[in-house]
Chain A
Amino acid sequence: MGMTITEKILSRHAGLEEVRPGMLINARVDIALGNDITAPIAIDAFRKAGGKEVFDTKKVVLVPDHFAPNKDIDSAEQCKLMRDFAHEQAITHYFEVGEAGIEHALLPEKGIVVPGDVVIGADSHTCTYGALGAFATGVGSTDLAAAMITGELWFKVPETIKFIYHGNARPWVSGKDLILYTIGRIGVHGALYRAMEFVGEIFRVLPMADRMTMANMAVEAGGKSGIFIPDEITEVYVRKRAERPYEFYTSDPDALYHSTIDIDVTKIEPQVAFPHLPSNTKGISEVGNVPIDQSFIGSCTNGWIEDLRVAAEILKGRHIAYGHRLIIIPATPAIYRQAMKEGLFDIFLDAGGVISLPTCGPCLGGYMGILAKGERSVSTTNRNFVGRMGHPESEVYLAGPAVAAATAVAGRLAGPEQL
């Protein structure tokens, strides 16, 4: 009997001919990632367990992106602890402020994660790398500590749900809208413990960035991972970046799935997830009159250059609504530079927006763009839980860059076609 792409990658890394869902395996880890919030706890655990050296100085990746550049004294201490550890261990992939960007955009961009990898990260959105055809999943700091020492980790082989997208997208519909729609349909625990495999003709025309956005949000459906079968688009993206040899895996025709879900793309309009769950989705035509105080375009979900181009297309020659705030954060320094070169910054500034250095920033209510009681933000991020971007009584509406930009102009939830 055949295997899915996920089962194949896991069996190869576990040194087994075959794995089946439910099996507990020990797998080799190609990349182990931590950030300024999760790595300090992992480093403590590493030392407590008597860890002296990481298993491979090229395979442990540390990125200060959540509260960096240091937002206060406590975060400065955390960043310093990670920096000292990185220097002590001679970690190749430690990124200092200036080189650092949001981890899940930075690792693919730099070719640190490649197709066929097993990647674990002490960050739930590690699943983003499934866009490249890798098995990537979020774990906790203790798991990271274990992997830093041994280069291995235990996994339960997940069942896979196959999502088939049929037909072409309407104008302004992006990967973000597809994944929001999907989560709206199956719910925030619709894929609990499972791998989500995304297939369909539409992915031949959408750029890599849209795959990243979709794999990124697999965890918002409870998924262990999201994955795309690598193809020519993957090849073009990876060829010039990969720092290691890579391998394309694919699912066998007779692979066994937990279930298959068919989605008619032609019916999907730009989506908005209302507070306080990513599954609380509505089409833009059904949102009603919702005044919005702030628009945020950025994060590991939608801080890609493609997202900024979409926003610029809408904001060009327009100004944001009176009293509205528009915050734009390119996810990495390279994206930042590219956006600047393409003249997108002029468009954003002329429109009344502000552009920040690459960081997680408002996405997790860390710093910058925090919401006051009762305020509402439209956000291209991935979570709209209570208090996610500030006061517990503030509200977050998740959307793609097109809706976020149009909303900034209108001052209330709107799509580009409503302007």
Chain B
Amino acid sequence: MKFTGKIWKFGDNIDTDAIIPARYLNIRDPQGLAAHCMEDADPDFMKKMKKGDIIVGGENFGCGSSREHAPIAIKAAGIACVVARSFARIFYRNSFNMGLPIFESRTLWGEVTDGSEIEVDADTGLIRIPGVSADPVRIQPVPPFMQELIADGGLMNHIAKGRAK
């Protein structure tokens, strides 16, 4: 897995109410949710972002409610992946279960500015920031079981596969 894109940088504790406000939770359609992605963190986000862009967050990204609508909205908006210093645990679980690629990196946040281009290489576990730094940034390794989930295409496919055995 490799992603190259422009980043949108957010701070610490970006909560699920900021990612997709509760007032839109009566919507279930991914595109309908995507229309309000990050609305309470940046009201113009959907106007400015392009498909393939990358979100970079600080600590505890995705904290708050268990709503899967949050990773669904981000994925449906066309965001390629999210890299944060740390993720709230339900958001972390949900993202793997949904197939939204997310990566933890303690250091990336400090090295990039809004609008930088980065290259995330999940296979080597390295992120490059062309033109800013020659040294790549390391991603926290993903546990083998979670890699298996992604390889199977998310939790439900993983289960379907297991049951077919």
> What residues of chain A have their CB less than 8 Å away from a CB belonging to chain B?
24, 37-38, 40-41, 44-45, 48-50, 66-67, 71-72, 74-75, 78, 121-124, 126, 138-143, 145-146, 149-150, 154, 156, 188-189, 192-193, 219, 222, 224, 277, 364-366, 383, 385-388, 392
Contact = CB atoms under 8 A, between A and B. Distances in A.
Interface of B: 13, 15, 17-18, 21-23, 25-28, 40-41, 43, 59-60, 63-69, 71-72, 86, 88-90, 93-94, 97-98, 143, 145, 154-157, 159-160, 163
A39 to B, nearest CB: 11
Contacts of B63: 188-189, 222
B18 A387 contact: yes
Given A75-B26, A142-B94, A146-B155, A189 B67 contact: no
Contact of B66 (A24, A48, A139, A277): A139
A193 B86 CA distance: 10
A11 to B, nearest CB: 18
Given A49-B156, A124-B65, A383-B64, A140 B15 contact: no
B103 to A, nearest CB: 16
B68 A150 contact: no
Contacts, number: 131
24 contacts: A24-B145, A41-B72, A44-B28, A74-B27, A140-B66, A141-B66, A142-B154, A143-B155, A146-B159, A149-B159, A150-B159, A154-B145, A188-B13, A188-B63, A193-B89, A222-B89, A364-B65, A366-B25, A383-B64, A385-B15, A386-B40, A386-B41, A387-B40, A388-B22
Contacts of B28: 40-41, 44, 78
Contacts of A392: 21, 40, 43
A38 B160 contact: no
A189 B93 CA distance: 16
A72 B28 CA distance: 14
Tell which of A78, A142, A224, A387 has the most Cβ of chain B within 10 Å. Answer: A142
Nearest to A392: B40
A122 to B, nearest CB: 6
A189 B86 contact: yes
Given A40-B28, A140-B90, A387-B18, A49 B159 contact: yes
Contacts of A143: 93-94, 97, 155
Given A140-B97, A142-B98, A49 B17 contact: no
A123 B16 CA distance: 12
Contact of A366 (B13, B22, B71): B22
B88 A387 contact: no
A149 B160 CA distance: 10
A38 B93 contact: no
A299 to B, nearest CB: 13
B21 A387 contact: yes
B7 to A, nearest CB: 22
Contacts of A365: 21-23
Given A37-B25, A41-B68, A140-B90, A192 B60 contact: yes
Nearest to A383: B64
A40 B13 CA distance: 27
Nearest to B65: A124
